[in-house]
A and B are shown apart, each in its own frame.
Chain A
C-alpha cells in the first residue's frame, strides 16, 4: 500500500512537472521566470519518488505494519466529509449537532445520556464562541436560525 501511495505522489509530480514546463523559464525582462522554481521542485519530486520506490521494492514492502482499525478510521473520515458537506445545507449549529450525535454513537456506543449531553452542549458552546464572541461567522445554511 505504501508503494501505491508513493506511485500516486509520483503521478501527481509528473502532472505538476508537465504544467511547470508550460510556464516560462525566463521573464520578459530576462530574469528567472515563474517556471524556474516549479521545474526544479517537480524534477526533484519525480527523482525522489523514483528513488523511494526503488528502495521500497528492494525492501519487500510494509504490509505487516499496515494492520489497524481501518473500519473506524474510514467511518470517521466519511462522517467528517459528510459534516463539511452539510455545513452549508443545514447550517453550522445543526450540522455540528448531527455530526456529534453520529460520531459519538459510533465511537462511544451504549452511553446515551452522555452522548446526548456532549452532542448538544459542545456545538452550542462552539457556536456561541465563534458566532458571538469571535464574530467569525458560522455558516447559516438554507434555513438560518432565528438567533
Chain B
C-alpha cells in the first residue's frame, strides 16, 4: 500500500509543469547525446551538469536521469540507419538493425527498437519500484566494511568486465584513487598533495576531470581517427519504403525476447560494473542460442535487434538501484549522476528513500513518464533525429569543445579548473588510444573518498585486523557475490565483440 502511495506522491511531483518540461528537455538532449558517435551519456551528463545549476534539485536530477536513459534510445537510430552505434550499448543493435534497414525494413526496425526500449525501460522502472525499497531496507544493516567492499566490488567488476585490458584498467582506477586523495584529510585536517596551492585544498573536483576525459578526450580521439572526414551519405532512406509500421508477426515472434531481454538487462544492470553494453551483448548471444533459426542472426533477425534494445534500457534502469539505495555508482554515467545528487545536497543511500521520499519517488515516477515520452519521440520525431545525424562532425567538434570549456568554467568560475579539464582531455586522448579506462578513473575519483573513509573506519573498528571482512555475514555475502561474478566474467567478456 505504501508503495502505491509513494508512487502517487512521486507522480504528483513529476507531473508539475516545470518538471515535465525538464523531463522532455532531458529526453530530447539524451536522444541527441545518444545519436552523436563518440559522445556517450557520461560525457553528455558531465557537460550538461552545469546547465542544471539554475534549477531546483528535483527538476535537475529528473532532467539528468532522462538524459542518461534517453541516450540508450538515441544510440540505436544510427545503429539501424548508418551501421554506426551512437554509443557502446547499442553496438549489438547494428548486428541485425542495419541488415533489416538494407532489406527495406528500416521503418519497422526503428519502431520495434522504440517499443523494445520502452518495454525494457518500463520493466526496469517497475522492478526499481518494487526492489529499491527492499534494497534500502537491507542496506540499513551495512556498516563501513560493507560500504568499502561494495565500492571495491564496483571498481573490480568495471575493470575486469569492461574494455580489453584489465591491467590498464587497474592503473586507471588507481590514478582515480590517487587524484581523490588530493586535498584536506577529513579525519585529521592535514593537507595532502596540495603543495601550498589554495585551489587544491578542496580537492580535485570531479566535474572538470569527467568533462575533460569523456568530452575533450573522446573528441580528440575521434578527430585523430578521422571522424570529421567521414561522410553521412550511406544513411538508409526509410522515407521511400512502403511499410513504415511493423507487422503483427514482428510483435508475436519477439514477445518472449522482450521479456528475456528486459529481465536479463535489469539483473546485469544492478551488478555494479557490468552495465548496458554487456547486457545488450549477452542478450544478443542468448537470443541467438535459443532461436530456432540462428542462421538468420546477423542477416536481419528482428529478435537480434529487439533483445539487445530491451536489455540495454532495462540495464540503465537497473543501474539506478545500487545508486539510489547504496550510494554506489556502478558505471561512469551513474558516477556523474551521483556527483549531481551530492551537488544538490542529496546523499544517495539506504536513508534516501525515507529522508527524501519526494526526491526519490519523484525521480522514479519521472522515469515512467520519461519512457512514455521517449516512445512517442522515437517514433514521431525520427525525421528530426535523422537530420541531426547528417550534421557533420567537423561542425559538431568545435561546438562540443565550446560547451565543454564554458560549462567547466561556469561551475565555479575557476580558470584553474578549466585548465584541469584541458589537461584531463589530453590525458583522456592517450588513455583512449592505449586502451586505458577513463570510466574506471572517474568512478575511482568519485568513490575514492568514500572507500578511504570506510576502510579507515573499518580498520579502526577491527583494531587493524582485515579479518573483519570475513567475520561479518553481510561482508561475506558481498565477497561471495563478487567472486561469483568474477568467475562468470570470462563468459561475459566472450559475449563482447572482438573489434
CB within 8 Å of B: which residues of A? 1-2, 5-6, 9, 13, 16, 19, 23-24, 27-28, 31-34, 36-38, 41-42, 44-45, 48-49, 51-52, 55, 62, 66, 68-70, 72-73, 76-77, 79-81, 83-84, 87-88, 92, 96, 99-100, 103-104, 107-108, 114, 118, 122-123, 126, 129-130, 133-139
Contacts and interface: CB of A to CB of B under 8 A. Distances in A.
A77 B185 CA distance: 34
Given A45-B178, A103-B398, A134 B410 contact: yes
Contacts of B221: 73
Contact of B397 (A42, A45, A76, A133): A76
Interface string B234-261: 0000000000000000000000000000
B220 A45 contact: no
A132 B174 CA distance: 40
A77 B187 contact: no
Contacts of B455: 37
A68 B402 contact: no
29 contacts: A2-B434, A9-B175, A23-B192, A32-B460, A33-B190, A34-B190, A36-B456, A41-B177, A41-B181, A48-B170, A52-B167, A66-B433, A72-B223, A73-B224, A80-B425, A83-B405, A84-B419, A99-B401, A104-B398, A107-B394, A107-B398, A108-B394, A118-B395, A130-B50, A134-B54, A134-B410, A137-B413, A139-B409, A139-B415
B223 A73 contact: yes
B356 interface: no
A136 B53 contact: yes
B171 A31 contact: no
B452 A37 contact: yes
A51 B187 contact: no
A42 B193 CA distance: 12
A66 B51 CA distance: 36
Nearest to B399: A122
A28 to B, nearest CB: 8
Contact of A126 (B168, B402, B433): B402
Contacts of B452: 37
A77 B220 contact: yes
Interface residues of B, number: 58
Given A52-B171, A84-B422, 14 more contacts: A24-B190, A27-B188, A31-B456, A34-B187, A41-B181, A48-B170, A51-B167, A76-B401, A77-B429, A100-B402, A104-B395, A134-B53, A134-B410, A139-B409
Contact of B192 (A34, A48, A77): A34
Nearest to B227: A69
A69 B405 contact: no
Contact of A45 (B174, B192, B224, B460): B174
Contacts of A100: 398-399, 402
B220 A55 contact: no
A99 B402 contact: yes
Contact of B418 (A42, A45, A84): A84
B226 interface: yes
B364 interface: no
A62 to B, nearest CB: 7
Contacts of A1: 434
A81 B422 contact: yes
Contacts of B429: 73, 77
